[in-house]
Structure 1
Amino acid sequence: MIKNNFSFVCGVLLGLAGWLATSARAETPTLYATMIANSHLQCMASKVMGRVYGNLGMRMEVLPMPAKRALAYSSSGQADAELLRLEGFSKQYPDLLPVPEPYLGFSGVAFSGPVVGTISGWKDLRAYRVGVVRGVRYSNEGTEGMERILANDLPQLFDLLEKGRVSVVVTSRVSGSVEVARRGLTPSIVVNGQPLYERPLYHYVHRDHAALIPLLDAEIRRMKASGELQAITDQALDELLLNAQTGGLSECTQ
């Protein structure tokens, strides 16, 4: 057992040394990760994973792209990693390997004004006219058969809510909070109740850099235990909300 553990550690260190050698021209080893463009949650993820890599003595640069193109780019090895995805992408993209520990989560929640009762589950939405974005699977399925209006995008969804055409909208907690801040609707429009839908989110690396996985996994776990991960996540969200309120840039930077 000791011999096997020693061999495993040596393998990880040798693999990492080989990867670091490819970045020898830079003062700090740099890894390039694709991300979905124009996504508030992905912007937060770039801050969080930037800190994770930084704690390991590396730098992460993000490459914003449309969702499908980002996967094609990272899975082919043209990028070193995929910033943030749901569990199970390795089934369709076997060259993308997940870091086992999730570092962010997706929450689908209800936003409403004060006249709406507490929403504790999908069934509570049946009492109201609901707005959801067309084509978003979890919210479209969760409100199937209810009185609802389908919006084409997030701004149109909150137009419906602000104009009173719907009483409740269901969308991502992060994106919805940013839209509320952008419109100056706080505190008249708030998150109502507990999440209706939750999923953990993971970082993926190309199999060429598989030696990084145990290091990233251990660092994410350490940061969770120390509270550092939650602190950088909260800071990233605060920056998004402030930018939305002031009309500042929302560009994802490390």
Structure 2
Amino acid sequence: MTYLSGSTAMLCYPTSKFFGKRCFLIICAFLPLVINADTSISITSGRGAPFVKPDQSGFYDLIVINMFKRAGLRAKTVLLPSERSLINANTGIDDGNIARIKGLEKKYPNLVMVPGKVIDFDFVVFTKSKNFKVKDWRSLKPYNIAFINGWKYFEKKARYYKSLTRVKSSTQLFNLLNNNRADIALYDLWSGLWWLRRNTADIHFLLPPIASVKLYLYVNKKYKKLVPMLSRALAEMKKDGTYKLIYDKTLSRLLK
């Protein structure tokens, strides 16, 4: 059983007498948040397969399950639209979010980062007919490019291109390439490989990645005392081979 300090003042209801209300609030303020093996922690994510799957067999699913299990808790990953997944974690509707860049707490102050990267997230160029060395974002200047609307990283970084098309889904993205309506599709490596494994398309990706960012697990601040345990759990998983087993089972096999 784990005890976490916390305040439940917002859940307190006033009574008809001022003294009764005051005492109730004081008691609530000092009640600890108690979690045990029966507590189910929900961690949101805005990424679908191969990261989050309905049967909890995706990369993020298994990382979350194993990290919290080592802290003595049960946890699951919940797939939501990207922005909603952050809002739910920040407001406490859910208990955390995986996986995001460092510094997220500046915009979402109720989230606490767990030290230790979950993954190096590679963004790559997918193409049907082009073959060139990807040096930086300026390398894209001669080409008609496309990416999924709402991907903030691409909106910020992709400033050099012949033309730009925004789409709503990965299917639309790769259909643009298939139909020769775009030269380049920007996407993350693993999601792109997952899509190509399930669809017939003469599309390949170029290396090196155009960008790579470290992503982390965040928990709502009500669970901030779990952070050292979770960070230690992730480090142990990397040391004892559990992390590699999960990575090979869910991601690296897509390269074969």
- Tell me the TM-score normalized by structure 1: 0.74
Of the structure 1 ranges 197-206 and 227-236, higher mean CA displacement relative to structure 2 is found in 227-236
Closer/same/farther in 2, CA of residues 14 and 151 from structure 1, 3 Å limit: closer
SS of the equivalent of 1:164 reads coil
Closer/same/farther in 2, CA of residues 128 and 73 from structure 1, 3 Å limit: closer
Aligned counterpart, 1:156 = 172
Q: Contact 2:111–2:221 at 8 Å: present in 1 too?
A: yes
Aligned length: 222
Unaligned runs of 5+ in 2: 6-31, 53-57
Aligned counterpart, 1:30 = 40
Aligned counterpart, 1:196 = 210
- Tell me the TM-score normalized by structure 2: 0.74
Q: Equivalents in 2 of 1:219, 1:66: separation in Å? A: 28
Aligned counterpart, 2:221 = 207
Closer/same/farther in 2, CA of residues 44 and 217 from structure 1, 3 Å limit: same
Of the structure 1 ranges 213-222 and 120-129, higher mean CA displacement relative to structure 2 is found in 120-129
Aligned counterpart, 2:196 = 180
Aligned counterpart, 1:220 = 234
Q: Equivalents in 1 of 2:90, 2:141: separation in Å? A: 42
Aligned counterpart, 1:62 = 77
Code of the aligned partner of 1:105: D
Q: Contact 1:131–1:168 at 8 Å: present in 2 too?
A: yes
- CA shift for structure 1 position 183: 1.2
CA displacement, residues 117-168 of structure 1 (integer Å, 9 cap, x when unaligned):
2323323323433333344333344442421341313211111111222232
- CA shift for structure 1 position 224: 2.1
Closer/same/farther in 2, CA of residues 212 and 168 from structure 1, 3 Å limit: same
Q: After superposition, where does 1:97-136 map in structure 2 within 5 Å?
A: 97-113=112-128, 115-136=130-151
SS of the equivalent of 2:117 reads coil
Closer/same/farther in 2, CA of residues 86 and 63 from structure 1, 3 Å limit: same
- CA shift for structure 1 position 87: 1.7
Aligned counterpart, 1:167 = 183
Q: Which has the higher contact order (CA 8 A, sep 6+)?
A: 1
Q: Contact 1:34–1:64 at 8 Å: present in 2 too?
A: yes
Larger helix fraction of residues? 1
Aligned counterpart, 1:90 = 105
SS of the equivalent of 2:198 reads helix
Q: Contact 1:111–1:168 at 8 Å: present in 2 too?
A: yes
Q: Contact 2:45–2:79 at 8 Å: present in 1 too?
A: yes
Q: Contact 2:60–2:77 at 8 Å: present in 1 too?
A: no
Q: Equivalents in 1 of 2:61, 2:74: separation in Å? A: 11
Aligned-residue Cα RMSD (Å) equals 2.8
- CA shift for structure 1 position 114: 6.1
Closer/same/farther in 2, CA of residues 125 and 36 from structure 1, 3 Å limit: closer
Of the structure 1 ranges 76-85 and 171-180, higher mean CA displacement relative to structure 2 is found in 76-85
Structure whose alpha-carbon radius of gyration is higher: 2
Aligned counterpart, 2:245 = 231
Of the structure 1 ranges 208-217 and 131-140, higher mean CA displacement relative to structure 2 is found in 131-140
SS of the equivalent of 1:82 reads strand
